[in-house]
Each structure stands twice: as structure tokens, then as C-alpha cells.
Amino acid sequence: MRHLRVALLVALIASPAFGQSAADRAPARPRLGLVLSGGGARGAAHVGVLKVLEEIHVPVDLIAGASMGSIVGGLYATGMSPQEMEDALATMDWDGAFNDSVPRKEMPFRRKFDESSFLTKLTVGIQDGHVAMPTGLVEGQKLNFILRQLTLPSALVDDFDKLSIPFRATVTDVASGDGIVLSHGNVADAMRASMAFPGLFAPVELEGRLLVDGGVAENFPVKSARKAGAEVLVAVNIGTPPKGKETLTSLTKIINQVTSAATARNVKEAKEAIGPQDVFIEPDLGDISFIDFKRVRDAVAAGEKAARAQVEELRKFSVPEAEYRAWRERTRRKPYKPFEISSIELVNPSPVSNEIILSHMKTKPGPLDMKLLEEDLSSINSIGEFDLIDFRIVPRDAGNVLQIVIKDRAWGRTSARFGINLNSDFKGNNGFELLASVSRTQVNRLGAEWRVIAGVGEITTIFGEFFQPVKVSSPFFVSGIASWQRQTPLVPVEGLGTVGVQEKQYLWGAVAGVGDGRFWEMRAGAQLGHLWTDPTTSEALQPESVDRGAVVARLTVDSRDNVPFPSKGAALRVAMDWETPALGADGSTRRLYGIGMAAFSSGKNVFQVLATGGSPVKTDLPYYDGFKLGGFRRLSGYTSDELYGPYMAFGSVTYLREINRFKTSIIGGAYYLGVSLEAGNVWRIGSDVSLSDLRYAGSAFIGIDSPLGPVYVAYGRAEGGRSALTFQLGVAF
């Protein structure tokens, strides 16, 4: 008997199955494959099906998913429970996940300048003399991090058969158009590639292939599940069925229809491959669209309802409680213990120096703090020089290495940005300005950059700057500037009304400065130039030709969370210009100007306070250096720049109420209702400046934070019965 037991033990040890993980061993029952189709936000219904499967003790032996089905399937395969998935998907900031833009508070100060001047969001690259566009609206910076965080316990598993449950993700090769089934690599990479909807998300490069959404080639991966070894299937399809043209009443619905049409054929073929031994589930998701991520729990409930309707069919796959408990114990993820990091490496193909990148990192070797790492990656991203910043955990003999992986900007270092300003009071007073800038960054190893800005319209201008940090990551810099400008302002002249004056001016100079890189900057230097003025409608003013030379000083502070519609933060600009013959000027004048605003909010209620003023300092000011008031929120009810003089004071209080936000922050923005109360004036003589002489005005307006920039439709009224209906696009205040 003893010999028999020994023989049996030897035979067991020799068995190929001995020593394999439970997930790898083939069950005695038919191997059950779970097939999860793509469908965007509708894919949360898969979680509801999983809830029912767990309730009736149905173990899953293999998962094949496409697009959002790969997200749910991948998370389940790494050991996450259905309830954990539901909570994660329902509480996730999906708008943030689909928005690669850097929060404004984290932007470098110079990028804040760009945003203030060019309020459109469109930026294109210039490479080899051609315009280069991004490969997708969203690169996936934030989504990547979320997926890596959710799958972190499986970060070192590179064979999907060795996950808690074997897993397959379908993707599409952009170059060939072929469908590919991913069975190895990093599970987060596979999930991200499988849901890279073409045009929306940038493709994912894996093993030399450029990959997009698996739904394009196989949205309902029935065949892939069978090829991976599934003998019976629970197949869940959550795709949107095509609808009649009378229902296509919005951009979202049209995109949804196009998506459905693109996958209809391969879904139909997959359905035909489902046999009588399988269970097919198709939840009724009603009007839940592929971007309705705020309705995750509704989709989960719909999936649960559909599974319960077929619970008797599903019970044929149930196993006894003890067997199911053992299956769940070996497949459910264990409490996560932070990875110990022995060192940090950079994979950096960009021209940005490692020193600059590392200066943005606070993470150190030791237990990996994911919150701190997220802040670090966001800070690196704020440099604005990369398409994507990712991380990997790589096992080495000396311990786990944290790799920071840089995906360099596809279009290089030269880019162009565009802006537009339009305004009309519907009374014949219209204005427009078109702006464009071309800039090049990382001109040298210290991070120098140059920029050229051109504008046409009411003001024609060309401005160029070369910006040079003193050393890598130094707060000190030097800058060379040059500009040319032409405009024809209307200048009030006592006894004559307004006089049109053509002004042409060029300036050049150099400054030195210091700043913290994000929130403030001080600069001072000298600028030289020449000004020509030519009155066009009156002989009361004589043409002038004036040499200019001035000491200039600027202090700028900006912590606003948004330029046109700030809800928190503050901004301040103080400027001093001292024209002096010592620098070649024809006269001696000193001019001081300042503007400051602060914003704070409570819920959807926003309050903004603004004050601005300007004055000569113990000198006179020529009319061409005076200050202007008038127009929307600059004494509403008056025409734009109607008031003109060497002394100016103005203040306003604005209340905004957010009415609605766009469904997804991919395009960003919100709608607002607002009112403003305003007081101010300009004076020609300093002794006339008096608070008792203020002019009062106010406005009521609708504001839209649109992809083209801020849009306002406003009604303004000032004392004396003056009123104006105003339309403005692209003007921030």
C-alpha cells in the first residue's frame, strides 16, 4: 500500500499540470469564455453581467474583449471584483481622463502667455515645411495613468495567460487594417490600444505596430475567444444598433451611428458564430450613448437586468459553492503592497535635457507613491514639449526600476497657433483681428526659444522675441524683442470730437528678468524705436515723427484657472515706461499702468473683481500714449475705446453662473449667464481726477467657453441712457 501511494505521488509530480497556477489548469468542466464587445460608455453593462455571473457561481476561464469590453475584461482578469469596477468607473473623472490639457495652474508661465493671446485651442506643428497635425484629439496622458494604476498589481505580468484569468484584447493594425489579438505584454497597454478610437485617441505603438480600437476589426471577439481555447461562451454585445436618419439630430448621435456602421458587419458575423451551447446577452441600453460616462450605473443596471432575464440559461455553467469559492479565492486580487523602487531611469528621445525633466520629479527610490508619481508626470507634461509621459516598472536583479518614458512630440519643436478677435455693436461699429504665431522651443540645450507673432485687422502687428534662460532650470533669463505696429485709433480732441490718427511704430530692445516659472515674472530693460503719426480726418493735429527710447519694467502675476472665465485665482500686471533722452528719446515722460483681478467661486457661482488704472508720473503724456475705456465690461454701453486720455481709473464686479458644460471636455467649455457693475473714467488733466466724476455702467450677458475662444452676447447700459448690444468672439478681459 505504501508503495502504491509513493507511485501515485511520483506520477502526480511528473504530471504537466503539477505546479501550474490554478488559472492555467484546464478545468474538468467545459472551458467558459466571456466575450465582451466594444461600445464606449455602454460597456459598463458588462459589469452588470459579471455581477449576476458571480451571484449564481459561474466561474470564468477566459476573457476576450474589444474596446471598452477590453477595459472591463482586463480589470476582471487582473482580479478586480464587479463592485470595485462599478465604483471605479462611476466615480472616475472621465472628462479629465479624455482631456490631455495641463491644468492652467501647472502651466509654465510662457505657455500661459500663449493661452492669453491665442484663445483658440488649435495648435499645429510645422515639420519640413509642411503642417503636421496630431494623430488624435487625445494622446491619452491621463487615461494611460488611470489604467496603469488600476492594473498595478499585474504590472510585472507579461503573459496574459498568467493573469488571474487568461485574457485577450483585440486591436487593429493601422498600417495593414488587420485585426490582432494581444496575448502578452503589459495589460494596461493592451487595454489602452484596444479602445483607441481612430481620430479621437492617438494610436498606440506596440512592438513596432501602430494600433487602434479593436472594434474596427473585431468588435465582438467571439472567434478570438474560441481560438484562445473557449469551449462554451457567455457573449455580451453592447454595440449601438443603427438608427433611422430622423434620429440623427446631434454630433454625438451621428458619431454613434458611424461607429455602429463601422462595426456592424463584424458583429453580425460574430453573432452567427454563437452556437446553441452558448449564451448570448444583449442589454437594452436605451438612449445611453458611447460617451455617456456619467450614466455608468444606469448601464450596469441594464446589463444586470439582461443577465437576470437569462439566468436559467446561465445556471448551466454554475458550479458548487465550494468549487466557486476556491475559484474566486485564486482569481481575486490580493491587497496591494506598493512596489519598492530601487532606482529611476529616463527613456528620453527628445531634445529636452534629462536635467530639466528630473527637476520636475519628487519621486525617489523607495515605496512607490502613486499620487506623488501622478503629480510628477503632470509636472513633466506641463513643460509642453511631449506627446505623452508614461511610466513602467521594470524588474532587474538589483530591484524594481521605475522607468519614466517620454514620447517625443511627433511634429517636432516648431509649432503654429491661431487666434481671432471679433466684435460688433450692431450699429456699424465692428472690429476684427486675426492672429498667428510661430514658435520654436529647445533651440539649445538651455531651453531657449523664439517666437514670432503676426496680426492683421484693426491693428497690424509683427512681434518677435528670443528668450534665453541663463542656465538649465534657472529662474533668470534674458530676452531680445523687436516689433512693428500700425493702427488708426480714434482720438478725442476737445472741440472736434474724435480724430482718426494713423500710427506706425517700430521698437526693439533687450530685457533681463526672473520668475518662478509658473506664477510670476519680473523683467526690466531698455527699448528703442520710432513713431510716426498722421491725422487722417482733421488738420487740428499735426503729423509727428518721434524717436523713442525708454527704460521699461514689468511685473506679471497669473494664477487664474481659466483666462476668459476664471473661477479662482488672480492676475496682476504693473508696467512702468520711462522715456528719456539718454536713450535717444525726443522727450522725457514716465507712464505707469496697472491691472489686477481676482476670482473666487462657490459651486457654480463665480465672482470676479477687477481694478485698473494708468497715469503719467510727474510729466505729461502725448495723446498716443494715453489710455482707453469703453466697450463690453470696460464701461458697457459706450462704444469700444470711446474714452481716451492720459489719466484712467476703472473697476468692476462681475457675477457668473455656470448653466451647463459640454458633455465631454475633449472639446471643453461651458455656458454662463453673467452680470457686471462697472465704474470708471478718463481725464485729460490730473487735477480733474475725482471719484465724484466716475461714469457708471453695467451689463447682462451670455458667455460660452468655446473651442474657438470665448463668445459673448451682451447688453450694456450706461448712465445717461446709453446702451449697446454687443457680440464678441475671442476677447478676454
Residues present in the chain in total: 733
- Which grid coordinates belong to 292? 455617456
Alpha-carbon distance values, 174 to 181, 199, 411, 582, 591 (Å): 14, 12, 19, 65, 60
Query: Can you give the pLDDT at residue 116?
Result: 72
Query: Can you give the pLDDT at residue 131?
Result: 79
Cβ(219)–Cβ(259) below 8 Å: no
Query: Can you give the pLDDT at residue 495?
Result: 59
Query: Residue 664 gets which letter from DSSP?
Result: -
Q: Are strands 136-138 and 199-201 parallel, antiparallel or unpaired?
A: parallel
- Which grid coordinates belong to 32? 467558459
Reported as a single tens digit per residue, the pLDDT across 357-380 is: 998 999 999 999 999 999 999 889
Residue type, 628: K
Q: Name every residue whose Cβ is closer than 8 Å to that of residue 99 and which is 6 or more positions away in sequence.
A: 138, 142, 665, 666, 668
Cβ(1)–Cβ(201) below 8 Å: no
Within the chain, which residues score under 70 in pLDDT?
A: 1-28, 117-122, 240-266, 492-497, 537-540, 662-668, 731-733
Cβ(409)–Cβ(393) below 8 Å: no
Query: Can you give the pLDDT at residue 347?
Result: 95
d(CA 673, CA 712) in angstroms, rounded, equals: 10
Q: Are strands 62-66 and 32-36 parallel, antiparallel or unpaired?
A: parallel
Cβ(192)–Cβ(140) below 8 Å: yes
d(CA 69, CA 237) in angstroms, rounded, equals: 9
Query: Can you give the pLDDT at residue 134?
Result: 74
Q: Name every residue whose Cβ is closer than 8 Å to that of residue 173 and which is 6 or more positions away in sequence.
A: 179, 180, 209, 210, 211
Query: Can you give the pLDDT at residue 568?
Result: 95
Reported as a single tens digit per residue, the pLDDT across 72-85 is: 999 999 999 999 99
Cβ(590)–Cβ(561) below 8 Å: no
Query: Can you give the pLDDT at residue 201?
Result: 85
